[in-house]
């Protein structure tokens, strides 16, 4: 999963399918979520998997109303399609990915 800065955000999600996870350095659920995403990253290789550190990206946190970590947003061509909040099991993510990214 590629970690980006706030200034890179628009260019990263502008084209194609993107999965953005807002996380924090000390967030245990974020680390568990990233582990659960590892195999999905292989299965959905056409999706751009992005991580945003909330401590360094306050404007994005405000823009997308991030309150709970992890918060994950599915994008297509720069448009936010769905927001998932909190730790999600792999089958839930796989189902959402299949619906949005195929």
Which residues are the active-site residues?
27, 30
Euclidean distance between CA atoms 83 and 39, whole angstroms: 20
| 36 touches 93 (CB < 8 A) | yes
Strand order in the sheet with 48-53: 2-4, 48-53, 17-23, 71-76, 79-85
Q: Which residues contact residue 27 at a Cβ distance below 8 angstroms, ignoring those fewer than 6 apart?
A: 69, 70
């Amino acid at each position: 999963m590629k970690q980006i800065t706030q200034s890179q955000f628009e260019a990263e999600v502008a084209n194609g399918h993107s999965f953005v996870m807002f996380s924090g350095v000390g967030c245990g659920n974020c680390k568990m979520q990233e582990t659960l995403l590892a195999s999905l990253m292989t299965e959905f290789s056409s999706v751009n998997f992005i991580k945003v550190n909330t401590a360094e990206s306050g404007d994005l946190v405000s823009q997308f109303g991030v309150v709970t970590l992890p918060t994950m947003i599915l994008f297509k061509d720069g448009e936010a399609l769905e927001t998932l909040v909190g730790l999600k099991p792999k089958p839930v993510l796989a189902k959402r990915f299949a619906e949005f990214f195929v």
